[in-house]
Amino acid sequence: MRSFKGIFLLIVTNLLVFLTLIISGNILVHFVLPAFGIDMRGSFASYQLAWAMVFGFGGAFISLWMSKPMARRMYRMQQVVDPATPKERLVYNTVRELAQRAGINMPEVWVYWDDTPNAFATGPSRNNAMIAVSSGLAMNMSDRELQAVLAHEMGHVANGDMLATTLLQGLMNTFVYFLASMIARIVASAGSRDGEMNHMLYFIVDMVLQIMFSVLAAIVVCWHSRRREFRADAYAADAYGAEAMIAALSRLHALAQPVEESAGLATEDALATLKISGGISGLFATHPPIEARIEALRHHSRR
């Protein structure tokens, strides 16, 4: 029953998001932009670009706005407000200290029960973020290693990585929707004597092109994700020393080996781009190889 309720809520949420974008798009195209002398109603290309921007950036920002409640629903979490155990005190005090250093509001601190050692940061802004730590991470790392991991996640918050990634994702979404629609229209209208468009052909070509362009866009987003991991590692190195972060990465690598060997392959969930552990190698990896991150940390410490 709980799973059906979750599916129902997901469907309702997506419908509400879709309706919100439809209403916002109509208001933007027909009222707001014309008030500033920008009329995008005249041609198909400008009209499609406006809608592509509404759906591209709108969807990305709604996802960002919903990132904290979504994360809390995905895991069995408990917020740490009054830390009761030594590990909870370490996590809470470390996040508070790092937030004070960065001059930002302290993120919410959450712990969740999962044997997989991991942590992630999410939230709509630097001053409205959350840090979540798995029980597997807290139990399997030394205090110094755990602090380094928390500093890495605080690096994402302090660097504004969530907003930057959302802007990039919105831009990529806009290109995907716009280019797919324009090319599909050309293909669907080709060969027509009266200029009428084959709507079925348009729909098929548009869907195929959206999938193809989305794959290319994912390469750009993943490239950005790998770059921000190096920056977050450097942030942690500046906070607690490169050796602490190297030790944390080495521990994560060692802990991941038995899991990968027993599973036969590595998998990633919907929040994988926010996690400290790595993903698959190649163009679609959200994290660089741990070996490359360790080498970058050693180079950072020598500067």
Active-site annotation, residues: 153
Q: Which candidate, 229, 227, 232, 220, places its Cα nearest to that of 169?
A: 220
Tell me how crowded residue 143 is: count the other CB atoms within 10 A of its CB.
Answer: 12
Query: In 40-74, which positions are buried (b, 16+ CB within 10 angstroms) versus exposed (e)?
Result: beeeeeeebbbbbbbbbbbbbbbebeebbeebbee
What lies within 8 Å, CB to CB, of 135 at 6+ separation is 111, 112, 113, 114, 115
Q: Which two tokens stand for residue 279?
A: 């993903």
| Token pair 């001053």: residue | 127
CA distance 237 to 218: 29
Q: Coil, strand or helix: which one is 217?
A: helix
**Distance between CA atoms of residues 303 and 298, nearest Å:** 9
Amino acid occupying residue 202:
Y
CA quadruple 159, 86, 246, 261: dihedral positive or negative?
Answer: negative
